[in-house]
A = this chain, B = another copy of it.
């Protein structure tokens, strides 16, 4: 029973995901943003091409409208974002202040450093193999996924190769939904 390889593998995968997620969250928190939603919001704002509306942001984060209002209130009070006019009279846009942008870049760098460090245990060839396998599993996850927060929150969307076809998540999302803009995603 306990020597079923699949059970072992599944269990180790679970511990691994938790460990990497913990470690990354800790690195981001140490870089100055303890709240995961706030960190994800700042990161998202860094990667939106245009300034998103509150509603776009809330979908990325998987929050209710009022939750998003509160979040943006907090970020604005901290001087990290400002509200501006939206494309339409109902909506308002959210933009990073210079300080918010600096914070977001710091968080992003801390995350990347933490993840690169984790991969330090492997040789380049092994990392490449791991990357391939992870990409395949990821594609399956995206294909199955329904609802919830954006999977690529906190990602650096240039590093993953979203636009050059190297990002497995973006590719799987494109296969599932058709053309994938940054602002609507699994």
A141 to chain B, nearest CB (A): 5
Question: With A and B bound together, what is the CA distance between A8 and B163 in angstroms?
Answer: 12
On whether the beta carbons of B159 and A2 are closer than 8 Å, the reply is yes
**Complex interface: chain B residues within 8 A of A160 (CB):** 8, 11-12, 15
A17 in complex: contacting residue of B16, B26, B148, CB < 8 Å: B16
8 A Cβ contacts from A138-164 to B = 138-142, 144-145, 148-149, 151-156, 158-161, 164
On whether the beta carbons of B119 and A18 are closer than 8 Å, the reply is no
A18 to chain B, nearest CB (A): 6
Quickly give the copy total for this chain: 2
| Listed residue (A142, A159, A169) with the most chain B CB atoms within 10 angstroms of its CB | A159
Q: For residue A113, which residue of chain B has the nearest CB?
A: B10
8 A Cβ contacts from A105-161 to B = 111-112, 115-122, 124, 126-131, 133-142, 144-145, 148-149, 151-156, 158-161
| A20 in the interface (beta carbon within 8 A) | yes
Binary per-residue interface labels of chain A (16-37) against chain B in the complex, 1 for a CB within 8 Å, 0 otherwise: 1111111110100000000000
Q: Which 10 A-B pairs have the closest CB atoms?
A: A17-B20, A121-B140, A10-B115, A7-B159, A11-B160, A11-B159, A21-B21, A2-B158, A130-B133, A10-B116
| Known pairs A14-B20, A122-B133 / 16 extra A-B pairs, C-beta < 8 Å | A5-B127, A6-B119, A7-B116, A9-B131, A11-B115, A11-B155, A12-B134, A12-B160, A14-B111, A14-B155, A15-B169, A16-B134, A18-B21, A19-B145, A19-B151, A133-B133
